[in-house]
Structure 1
């Protein structure tokens, strides 16, 4: 399937590394103008060295006011990928208010703050748009010692569905992609323990974790006009995990 994003300005959060970087790279190769957002200035500068055409925005998206100001300075934006995320492995007795705020500030509050700025811009310009939120299979399947992360991703799914209903009449689509473990550098390290790894793989019918490009393929489809009748959907990229 040939998908082009020429003449499209696409904002990607979490673009400095991992899944976000993989998605942003694919969008560049498909002709899009990428606005890369990340809290790591170093990672963004390395990314720009490799792809000088990108625009970079250094922001801690957990800070609502400063993040919105930074995103407004990067407008106009035609397409949005909310990929930045944070996880902490904690049992219920270990949960603290700081841990709660850290995870929810990035995974849901920051995502909403950025979505609001982009949506307002699209509405003011009377333009169609497409938004993809990177959620997780954890939104619908409990993970041991990751209750805060699971709860935050459940909120991402619910927000996506509600916004799809609200903005559909304005021709602005919004969807989720819900991956299983993805083999980024962090993912490989986090799931290096063979016992923990096997426990998850045994529940995946395809018997493997996802590659970054397999997530990016779905994101590019949902951003593009090829998915023009798809909105409010949470698409699992999980090798059949949720079906088993």
Structure 2
């Protein structure tokens, strides 16, 4: 199934590495004009050195006003991927207000902020666009020491549903994907402990963690016209974790 985004302009946040980078590159390969946004300039420069036609912009999405200023200046987009996120993993009895605020600023408020700007321009330009939010299986099932992260992703799912309801009449589709552990370079380090890894793997019927490409492929499909009647879904990419 060939999917083309030729002539489409797409913003991908958190695009400096990991899943976001993979999404940006695959959409670029499908013909899209990509703007890759990240907090870390060096990651973006590495991406651009390999793919010079990808435009890059660095901003800390936790800064509401600065992000609004930067994203407003970028112009009109046909699609958006809200991938930027942080994970602060602490036990319930130890998590703090500052950790909560920091997580929600990035994982929820930034998605709201950026989506408002992009969607408003889609509406003004009568663009039947698409938005995909990168959520997590942690929004649906309890994971030890993930309480703030899980709450933020559950909020992102709720945001997805409300956006789908309110933007649908304008022809703008909004969906989320909810991956399990995905084997980014960072995850390979974080899940290298066999005891920790095996505990999670025992709950995944397919018996393995996901690959970046498996999230990327789902996002590309949801952004495309092949998914033209899919709106407001939260798609697990979890090997069956949530089915058990």
CA distance in 2, matches of 1:8, 1:151: 33
Q: Answer with 85-94 or 8-17: which moved more.
A: 85-94
1:136-188: CA deviations, max 9, x gaps? 00001011011000000000001101111111111000000000000000111
The 5-angstrom pairing of residues 17-56 of structure 1 reads 17-56=17-56
CA distance in 2, matches of 1:85, 1:67: 14
So what's the TM-score if we normalise by structure 2? 0.99
Aligned residue in 1 for 2:58: 58
Task: Please state whether the residue corresponding to 1:93 is helix, strand or coil.
Answer: coil
Aligned pairs, how many?
244
CA distance in 1, matches of 2:184, 2:211: 8
CA distance in 2, matches of 1:95, 1:205: 31
CA distance in 1, matches of 2:186, 2:203: 21
Aligned residue in 2 for 1:88: 88
1:208-238: CA deviations, max 9, x gaps? 0000000000000000000000000000000
Query: How much has 1:89 moved relative to structure 2?
Result: 1.3
Aligned residue in 1 for 2:102: 102
Query: How much has 1:135 moved relative to structure 2?
Result: 0.1
Unpaired runs of at least 5, structure 2: none
Aligned residue in 1 for 2:201: 201
1:38-97: CA deviations, max 9, x gaps? 000011111111111111110100111100111111111110000011001111222112
Task: Please state whether the residue corresponding to 1:86 is helix, strand or coil.
Answer: coil
Aligned residue in 1 for 2:213: 213
CA RMSD of aligned residues (A): 0.6
Aligned residue in 2 for 1:230: 230
So what's the TM-score if we normalise by structure 1? 0.99
Aligned residue in 2 for 1:133: 133
Unpaired runs of at least 5, structure 1: none
CA distance in 1, matches of 2:210, 2:92: 28
Runs of 4 or more above 4 Å deviation: none
CA distance in 2, matches of 1:110, 1:171: 23
Aligned residue in 2 for 1:165: 165
CA distance in 2, matches of 1:109, 1:40: 19
Aligned residue in 1 for 2:74: 74
